[in-house]
Amino acid sequence: MAQQIPEYKVLPEIKTEEMLKMFKGERTGWVLVGPKKYFFPMRFIEQGTGFYNFKARPDDTWVASYPRSGIYTGTTLTQELVYLLSNNLDFKTAGKKLLAERFPFLEFSLFNHPEVTCEFLQINKNDLTKQELCREIAKPGYELVSAMTSPRFIKTHFPFSMLPSGLLDIGCKVIYVARNPKDVGVSWYNLNRSIKTQGYIGDFPTFWNYFENDLTPWSPYWAHLKEAWNLKDHQNLLFLFYEEMTCDFPKAIRKVAKFLGKTYTDEEIDKVANYLDIRNFRNNPMVNCSELRACSIIEEGNFVRKGGIGGWKHMFTPELDARADKWIEENLKDTDLRFPFFNNNIDNNN
């Protein structure tokens, strides 16, 4: 018997009217899901039950995170890394098949408002292939992923409380990537500006205010991280920090390989590291969302950005930085979660 959609509340009307003027990719509004009030577009009402009842398989491999928390582009590099390590370094397939096909984003359909999809179709009216992509990304992700053959590789930004019940216990492997909130906020701001399903038109301080107050998709940020952190000792969960991957990427590759039950030589590890080096990665059309840019869903520019640690210092005023520090300190009081190498002296923004 199918379970019902989790309890949700519609965002108050005054706040909805304000935010619809700032986020042009949403046309109806938002809901706050469950006791932790996870923030999602109104399409959750239509699709939430399908996601809630999505069935995991024991041989699924998941990459999970809060948005823009992984190295370079949220989870993108981690997805490609996991795919290669799990498939005996099949660079040939990785080089000719889009990452989105090999490792689909489970809930992206929630962020394709029907009106915006119609606009994408109009923009691409002279290209049937592009129109098909616009339709495909709007289809409920649980339908697309359920139709895949095993073993499946799945990307998600859902918190653990919204993932299939017991997925770790049935044998699914989950790699969760966390990143310090200041760099997350900057990267998340840039993506919200460039991807038209979000369509943010405001400035960074305003965006940070929404982020800090749990009013950007998949927020609350802290609840999201703490749910994963509380499961970090489970044998089927690997909790990784973006910062540790940046500090010693070959070491992180070996750590992921071991978690996946794979063994590779130093030469093979170096080959993977070189393949995923940002200088190569940002120019790889299979992973940099070239198909979304071609359809004008993402504005021209690099979906794969700079990477590095400490880029937030170029965006924060002293006043905003002090406020953010207080927010971070307050939210770390009840946990032993700490971000490695995160201090005011680090700046590796390259």
Q: Supply the residues annotated as catalytic.
A: 157
Q: H helices of 35-113, where?
A: 43-52, 76-86, 91-94, 99-102
* Adjacency order of strands within the sheet including 237-241: 153-156, 61-65, 173-178, 237-241
Please give the sequence-ordered ranges of beta strands (E in DSSP) within the chain, or none if there are none: 8-10, 30-33, 38-41, 61-65, 153-156, 173-178, 237-241
Q: What is the DSSP string of 4-39?
A: PPPPEEEPPHHHHHHHHTTBTT-SS-EEEETTTTEE
Q: How far is CA 179 from the centre of its chain?
A: 11
Contact between 63 and 158 under an 8 Å Cβ cutoff? The reply is no
C-alpha closest to that of 44 among 11, 75, 14? 11
Query: How many Å apart are CA 226 and CA 148, to the nearest integer?
Result: 30
Contact between 104 and 144 under an 8 Å Cβ cutoff? The reply is yes
Report the relative pairing of strands 153-156 and 237-241 from DSSP bridges.
unpaired
Helix axes 318-331, 204-212, angle to 10 degrees: 10
Task: Please name the amino acid found at residue 231.
Answer: L
Termini Cα distance of the chain:
51
143 Rama sector, left if φ>0, alpha if ψ -120 to 50, beta otherwise:
alpha
Tokens 């700490």 belong to 338
C-alpha closest to that of 320 among 223, 218, 206? 206
